[in-house]
């Protein structure tokens, strides 16, 4: 099986978010896909199979399948665009989280998806102990997210991941603040999925971009994820949709030996 490792939401190797992309000629069992993802140890491994004019796309963390992952979708689009079709400028994916359209322009990829709604949340008693800081405001969407005072606070927090696993709400935890050189910054944590900190999280910007678009009164936003590898994303909020722009870089092309 052809296998690629792609660094996503970056123009440079060894930054952004690495993801494994498996190109399937024949269907694999869920058990085998999970074992491959566990072996890879990336936050997500994507499995791509052509189905007519579209591509089936599934995502596995090291411990479970998830329905939606934009950085792995970006990596899959990069592989399809550079190694499979090469002349296509529009790629359509069918995922368990719904349809996803990617427009390719050179090494720029625009991922079109739905915005995530969010609601204010009463203060969570244990969150200060988990984050090591008291957030200014709290919200819930697919993930819990917390507004902090500055990029420095976002950069410096050292979460308690074991306690974070036991939060009753949210798939993950996001912290965010208004940026200085960018519109906003963030960090994203998913210990429930076996990923303590994600390096570049496209799906979190489906929550944060609408939030900051409302606060900053603008529809185009520059997002900086302050993970150890850092990642920069350009987000466009158009009604109830979000368009996220990013680049990708190939690290490895190889073959997985399927038993």
CATH code, domain carrying 100: 3.10.310.10
Domain count of the fold of the chain: 2
Neighbours of 256 (CB within 10 A): 13
The whole-number pLDDT of residue 85 equals 82
In the prediction, which pLDDT does 106 show? 85
The answer to whether residues 128 and 234 belong to one domain is yes
The pLDDT value recorded for residue 59 is 98
Q: Are residues 192 and 149 in the same domain?
A: yes
Asked if 49 and 64 sit in the same domain, the reply is yes
For residue 66, give the 3-state DSSP assignment.
strand
What span, in angstroms and rounded, lies between the C-alpha atoms of 178 and 208? 11
Could you say which residues of the chain have pLDDT below 70?
A: 86-88
Q: How far apart are CA 199 and CA 4, in angstroms?
A: 18
User: Per the confidence metrics, is the pTM higher than 0.85?
Assistant: yes
Burial (CB < 10 A; 0-12, 13-18, 19+), residue 79, is: buried
User: Cβ–Cβ contacts within 10 Å for residue 22, how many?
Assistant: 24
Residues 183 and 220 in one domain: yes
Residue 49: predicted pLDDT: 97
Active site residues: 44
How far apart are alpha carbons 96 and 58 in whole angstroms?
A: 7
Same-domain pairing of 95 and 139: no
My answer on whether 128 and 101 are in the same domain is no
Are 29 and 99 found together in one domain?
A: yes
48 contact partners, CB below 8 Å, separation of at least 6: 21, 22, 23, 24, 55, 56, 57, 76, 79, 80
Domain membership of residue 88 as a residue range: 2-111+246-255
The neighbour count for residue 258, using CB atoms within 10 Å, is: 11
**Residue 87: its pLDDT value, please?**
65
Query: Which 3 state secondary structure label does DSSP give 32?
Result: helix
At 42 the pLDDT is 96
Asked if residue 123 and residue 79 are part of one domain, the reply reads no
pLDDT at 86: 65
Shared-domain flag, residues 64 and 132: no
Closest CA to 43 of 71, 76, 22: 71
Tell me what pLDDT residue 158 has.
Answer: 96
């Amino acid at each position: 099986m052809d296998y690629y490792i792609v660094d996503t939401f970056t123009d440079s190797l060894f930054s952004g978010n690495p993801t494994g992309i498996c190109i399937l000629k024949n269907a694999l069992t869920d058990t085998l896909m999970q074992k491959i993802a566990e072996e890879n140890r990336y936050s997500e491994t994507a499995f791509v199979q052509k189905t007519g004019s579209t591509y089936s796309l599934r995502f596995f963390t090291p411990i479970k399948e998830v329905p939606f992952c934009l950085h792995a979708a970006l990596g899959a689009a990069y592989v399809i665009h550079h190694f499979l079709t090469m002349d296509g400028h529009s790629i359509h994916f069918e995922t368990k989280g719904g349809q996803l359209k990617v427009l390719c322009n050179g090494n720029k990829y625009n991922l079109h998806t739905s915005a995530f709604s969010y609601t204010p949340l009463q203060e969570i008693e244990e969150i200060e102990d988990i984050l090591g800081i008291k957030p200014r405001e709290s919200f819930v969407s697919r993930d819990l997210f917390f507004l902090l005072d500055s990029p420095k606070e976002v950069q410096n927090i050292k979460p308690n991941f074991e306690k974070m696993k036991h939060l009753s709400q949210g798939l993950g935890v996001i912290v965010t603040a208004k940026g200085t050189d960018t519109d906003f910054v963030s960090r994203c944590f998913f210990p429930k999925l076996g990923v303590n900190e994600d390096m570049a999280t496209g799906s979190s910007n489906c929550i944060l971009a609408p939030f900051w678009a409302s606060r900053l009164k603008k529809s185009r936003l520059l997002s900086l994820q302050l993970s150890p590898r850092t990642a920069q994303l350009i987000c466009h909020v158009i009604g109830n949709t979000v368009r996220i722009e990013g680049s990708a870089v190939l690290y490895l092309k190889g073959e997985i030996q399927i038993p």
